[in-house]
Amino acid sequence: MLILSFAHLIILYLIFNLFVTPISASTFTEIHGHSSIDGRYFLESGREPDQPNKNISLTIEPEIYIENSSANSLNIRPFFRYDSTDSKRTHLDFREAYGLFFGEFGNSQWELRVGIDRVFWGVTESRHLVDIINQTDLVEHPDGSHKMGQPMAHLSWINSRGTFELFALPYFRERTFPGRQGRLRSTPLVDSEQSTFESAAKHQHLDIASRYSNSFDNLDIGLTWFEGTSREPTFTLGIDQFGSPVLIPNYHQIRQLGLDAQFVTGAWLLKTEYYWREGELNAVSLEEDYFATVSGFEYILFNLFNTSLDVSLMFEGLFDSRNENANVATEKDLFSAFRITFNDEEDTTLLLGFFQDLNKSTRNIVFEAGRRVAENIYLEMESTFFLDIHKLDPQFTLSDDSYFEIKLLYYY
Amino acid sequence: MTHILNTNVIIFMLLTICGLILLDTRLMAENATEKGLRIVQEAEQYDKGFKSYVSNQIMVLRNKNGKESRRHLQISVLESEDDGDRSLIVFKRPRDVKGTAMLTHAHKTKDDDQWLYLPALKRVKRISSANKSGPFMGSEFAYEDMISQEIEKFNYRWLKDETCGILTCWVLEQTPISKTSGYSRQVSWLDKNEYRLWQVKYFDRKDTHLKTLTVSSYQQYLGKHWRADEMLMVNHVTGKSTNLILQDYNFNANLEKQNFTQVSLKRAR
């Protein structure tokens, strides 16, 4: 992967030099970014003796920005994490390394991004359902919100009829999974060495995606299409070279039609994400077409009792038509949360969220808080609790992995 | 006879005087609202034609104990003929919010459209523009103080003329039509020479004098448009203050509608 990333960088550099005027005196370069140190403490001991209760981790994430005289730019954002206990969590990735070009054509504007980039689709808070361009960097966080860089050519076309986007995704990236000494992992362990692919082209399969989006007054909508390798693997039981049982990821070819919409009126935000997907295997390893949705609302109490606090109340329902055969934990769940934005000089925020499975006993509590403690230093605390996890729930092996994390981020 | 005549004359005169007074106060009352509206319309007309500009701003936040913290922003504004202005605010510092950007499409009568770009997630988030009274970046400026105020969203009243330094000012009262505004009214001092705003007193919903904005100096750009160099917002209730320093005005940026879209928002930095 590392070699591939560097190869892309070289290609990018060439594109940059070919496409745009030679680097002149008006070139603008900026380097900034952040580094962090964090510690996680697990409230219970791991199911296996070699899984420790605490770990310390360091990250480096610089951003390099080079702009030429015509405002086209090269954006590079490597990411490295060192983890004291889990060797699989110690990893390097290029979150971004792309050339950005834009211009006008008649009454339309266009934008082209070539290289490794991250793209976000969606509107909901509890789960990012339609978001599919980038692979999840699962070793980063159990909620799956951290994404790996994806090689792509991304063309946007904007005019009065809306925004049309086309993505060519020439290289597939496998999901990361915690290693033997890591917490928040499955039992048996996932063995990515043995991953299987429905397509004979494996990683080289060309995935295609497109998106149409537009705003109509208070309503923002996005319509998306994806055809290619599923970012979510299914698993089969196997054995590794030492004869121990392992889970082998299988990556299938899928088609996904997605819709995301948000309607804003006053302090109310109504949100929905919906997709229909075919080609994926369900929890009993049968191919099953299905749809899933995350829908709900957010209501914001601005300047509560004149305290300058904003309190956001969120309710979302999560549903998967495969029901008990779904291979996600959120097949029929209710999410409720509140977020307090203190609007103070330190940008203090606090979030408390609660997931309740409506089919099973499973509950999750998520807690996040942040505050600037010095000019360039931000402090974050977060916690995820796995409570009463039902033994048939895909989260079952995380039952003992409730944790508390504290993180200091230094920005430069 | 003479007596009666005199009485009639006196009654007539009294009635006339009373009528004139009534008529005059009615006229004056009408004049005050009409005059208020006329002045702000003239002020808008006076600044018309700036098309677009970019400016860098520094906010110095001071708490009661004098402890300071700073915010750096870049603001781009696009003038719009038929609707409200479009604006883009890019946060530069503190560094943990660097690259965060807020896009606003203001409207004359309906709610503004507003989006926030979060660079860490590369996510564009539609946000509620009902958040008018909340502090902007923890400062004493509220969101409604930062975004262009469309004339149609307020009622105006001329209160009096008053000297302000070496100039003469109109003192105007504006009351928001929107219930989500944090203010019951604002009283502004606008100079008669160049329609520049020198002072604003903000009254909260309980009509307590909450804040005072003082503008200390102006520069003229393109030989026409006056823009402030420095403003001070003092909160009388909390004792906190924010100094807003506005610099590097560029009226030749030639920005257009395409610089204020959700796609260009993702390019903001």
Mean pLDDT estimate for chain A: 92
User: Does A62 sit behind a cis peptide bond, omega within 30 degrees of 0 on the bond before it?
Assistant: no
Instruction: Give the Cα separation of A3 and A404 in Å (integer).
Output: 35
Instruction: Give the Cα separation of B118 and B266 in Å (integer).
Output: 9
Q: Is the minimum CB–CB distance between B97 and chain A shorter than 8 Å?
A: yes
Tokens of A74: 């090269």
pLDDT mean over B248-264? 91
- Band (pLDDT 50/70/90 cuts) for residue A109 is very high
pLDDT at position A10 over 70? no
Q: Of A22, A48, A87, A30, which Cα lies nearest the Cα of A245?
A: A48
Instruction: Give the Cα separation of A383 and B81 in Å (integer).
Output: 50
Specify the DSSP class assigned to residue A23: P
pLDDT at position A330 over 50? yes
Closest approach of A90 to chain B, Cα-based (Å): 20
Q: Is the minimum CB–CB distance between A217 and chain B shorter than 8 Å?
A: yes
Q: Is the minimum CB–CB distance between B269 and chain A shorter than 8 Å?
A: yes
- Using DSSP's 3-state secondary structure scheme, residue A22 falls into coil
pLDDT at position B21 over 70? no
Tokens of A174: 């496998």
Instruction: Give the Cα separation of A115 and A13 in Å (integer).
Output: 10
Beta partners for residue A73, in sequence order: A67, A100
Q: In chain B, what residues touch A300 (CB-CB under 8 Å)?
A: 128, 130-131
Tokens of A87: 């060797």
ipTM for the complex shown: 0.91
Backbone angles phi, psi at A399, to 5 degrees: -50, -35
CATH topology of domain B46-81+89-95+126-250: outer membrane lipoprotein receptor (LolB), chain A (2.50.20)
- Band (pLDDT 50/70/90 cuts) for residue A55 is very high
Residues 36-65 of B with CB under 8 A from A: 61, 63
pLDDT at position B5 over 60? no
pLDDT of residue B109: 83
pLDDT mean over A221-229? 98
pLDDT of residue B1: 42
Count CA within 13 A, CB hemisphere, residue A117.
25
Residue reference for tokens 């989500």: B180
Q: Is the minimum CB–CB distance between A216 and chain B shorter than 8 Å?
A: no
Beta partners for residue B62, in sequence order: B68, B241
* Tens digits of residue pLDDT in A270-329: 999 999 999 999 988 899 999 999 999 999 998 888 788 999 999 999 999 998 888 888
Q: Of B87, B103, B77, which Cα lies nearest the Cα of B262?
A: B103
- Band (pLDDT 50/70/90 cuts) for residue B210 is very high
Q: In chain A, what residues touch B129 (CB-CB under 8 Å)?
A: 264
pLDDT mean over B12-41? 70
pLDDT mean over A402-411? 97
Instruction: Give the Cα separation of A297 and A268 in Å (integer).
Output: 7
pLDDT at position B150 over 60? yes
Instruction: Give the Cα separation of A27 and A400 in Å (integer).
Output: 53
Instruction: Give the Cα separation of A113 and A116 in Å (integer).
Output: 9
Instruction: Give the Cα separation of A227 and A206 in Å (integer).
Output: 9
Instruction: Compute CA B80 distance to the chain's CA centroid, rounded to the nearest angstrom.
Output: 17
User: Is the CATH number of domain A2-411 3.30.465.10?
Assistant: no
pLDDT of residue A120: 97
* Tens digits of residue pLDDT in A159-210: 999 999 999 999 999 999 999 999 999 989 999 999 999 999 999 999 999 9
pLDDT at position A354 over 60? yes
CA A102, A148, A65 angle in degrees (round to 5)? 40
pLDDT mean over B92-114? 92
Task: Say whether B128 and A104 touch across the interface (CB within 8 A).
Answer: no
pLDDT of residue B22: 55
- Band (pLDDT 50/70/90 cuts) for residue A27 is confident
pLDDT at position A394 over 90? no
Residue reference for tokens 């082998």: A248
Indicate which of A133, A345, A376, A379 best probes the interface with B, i.e. most B CBs within 10 Å of its own CB.
A345
